[in-house]
Every structure is written in C-alpha cells, then in structure tokens.
C-alpha cells in the first residue's frame, strides 16, 4: 500500500465547556481553544503506526475548512504525517460534499486507505465514512477498535452493540475509528519545529470540481436545561409514588 489519507477536523477542544452565544445563533468560539477532533487524532495515530510497520509509505493529512484549519494540520504534521492538504471552503459544508472531497483526493493520490474518526464531537453525524464508501465504490469498516494490514486486505475489529465483530476488507477501503483503538502520541517541541518545513498545500473546493450541496442550517441553539435537584425516598413504595407523580409509571 502506498498512501493513507487521514481526515482531520478543527473542533472546539473536548476539555472546553461549550457556551451558546447570547443570541442563540451558534456556539461561542472567540478565544476558545480549538483542536483536532479526538477521533480523527486516533485515526492519524493508527495511520502512522501502519506506516511505521512498513505497510504504507506515506500519510497525508487532509482538512476541509478555512485557513484557520492550518493549525490542526500542522499538529498532524508534527505527529508524523508526511504532508498535508487543506481544502478551503467558506462557511459550513454538508457531509455528502465532504465525502466527495475525500473521494476526489483518494482518486488523485491513488490512496490505499482513507481513515476517518467515526464522528466529529461537534456535529456527531457519523456519516462521511459511509457516504465515501458508497460513492467511491470501495468497502468500509466502521467503528474500528483494532486494525491489522495483511497484504492487500485489512482485518478490522469493530465495536458493535452485541460486543466485538471482526471483518476483513480488500484495499483500497474506508475505515472509521473508535475511541479504544489507540492512544495518540505526545507531540514534542522538535517535532513542531520540523512540521513547519513539511508541505501544506491549499486547494480551493472548486478546483476539485465539487459544487457544495445545500448546507444544513441550524435555526437555533440553546443550552440544555439545568438538572433538577433529586429527591430521597424511604422505600420502594415511596419510589413508585414519586414516579407516578411525575407521570413516569
């Protein structure tokens, strides 16, 4: 296998307490720490391990967004990606158009594997990998918690409702990764300095011949209601009575 393409999305850092804007138009991002989507970071770590095992020769990090996404791509380069591509767009882009971007790049780069996080922690859609598999005409293995490359195929352990499932797919293929696949490596300062010299290309969306579809519009954002204080009951009868009062039984 020659190349692995890994998607990296810029999201609000998972340690940040998300705040809704006062006018309800979106999530507050001014002055907020932004990071690589955690599932995407796991996907990149696995791609790097595959390359280090000798099963791939190059890892290409890809992000779709504004120029601000360069920061996350540079982090990916510091982790060990060989080069990066930023597909520039203005505003939001729908999941199907994102899948079309990865298909265009997979065809252009002759990728043997496209690795994505199973979902992004902002939209939680979990759609792109499945859509990419369909339009690319290649097999998929989603929610991976274990990946082994064996020649021209990949053996993947998947997390499903009933437990674990092992599947084997022919390459090229699409993989989406789950939380327990690995622990991403720590980025050291020398690696950050080296990453500044690695190639990072910017490609406008139109140059890939893709017209973005109708965007999904969020009409209003609202913070969840505060949790009500619980009550203490003395026995089972009291519990049943309390549930009846709330209309739950």
String of DSSP letters for 66-119: SGGGHHHHHHHHHHT-SEEEEEE-SS---HHHHHHHHHHHHHHHTEEEEEEES-
| Structural domain boundaries enclosing 65 | 3-245
| Count of structural domains within the chain | 1
Supply the pLDDT for residue 111: 95
Contact 145, 180 (CB under 8 A): yes
Element housing 168 (H / E)? strand 163-170
Residue 179 maps to which CATH number?
3.40.50.620
Supply the pLDDT for residue 147: 95
**How many Å apart are CA 132 and CA 202, to the nearest integer?**
21
Q: What is the pTM of this model?
A: 0.85
**How many Å apart are CA 154 and CA 172, to the nearest integer?**
9
Contact 20, 5 (CB under 8 A): no
- Per-residue pLDDT tens digits of the chain, which is 249 residues long: 789 999 999 999 888 888 888 787 778 888 889 899 999 999 999 999 999 999 999 999 999 999 999 999 999 999 999 999 999 998 778 899 999 999 999 999 999 999 999 999 888 888 999 999 999 999 999 999 999 999 899 999 998 888 899 999 999 999 999 999 999 999 989 999 999 999 999 999 999 988 887 767 777 888 888 887 888 888 999 899 888 988 887
Supply the pLDDT for residue 103: 97
DSSP 37: -
């Amino acid at each position: 296998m020659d190349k692995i393409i890994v998607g990296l999305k810029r999201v609000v850092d998972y340690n940040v307490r998300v705040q809704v804007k006062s006018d309800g138009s979106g999530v507050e991002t001014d002055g907020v720490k932004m990071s690589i989507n955690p599932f995407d970071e796991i996907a990149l770590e696995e791609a790097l391990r595959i390359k280090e095992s000798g099963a791939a020769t190059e890892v290409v990090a890809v992000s779709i967004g504004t120029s601000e996404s360069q920061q996350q791509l540079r982090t990916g380069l510091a982790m060990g990606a060989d080069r990066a591509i930023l597909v520039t767009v203005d505003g939001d882009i729908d999941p199907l158009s994102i899948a079309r971007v990865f298909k265009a790049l997979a065809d252009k780069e002759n990728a043997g594997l496209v690795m994505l996080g199973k979902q992004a922690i902002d939209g939680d859609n979990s759609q792109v990998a499945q859509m990419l598999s369909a339009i690319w005409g290649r097999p998929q293995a989603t929610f991976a918690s274990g990946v082994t490359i064996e020649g021209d195929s990949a053996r993947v352990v998947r997390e499903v409702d009933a437990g674990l499932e092992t599947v084997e797919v022919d390459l090229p293929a699409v993989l989406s990764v789950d939380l327990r696949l690995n622990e991403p490596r720590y980025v050291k300062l020398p690696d950050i300095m080296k990453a500044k010299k690695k190639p990072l290309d910017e490609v406008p969306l139109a140059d890939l011949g893709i017209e973005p579809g109708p965007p999904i519009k969020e009409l209003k954002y609202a913070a969840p209601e505060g949790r009500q204080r619980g009550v203490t009951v003395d026995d089972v009868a009291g519990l049943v009575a309390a549930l009846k009062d709330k209309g739950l039984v």
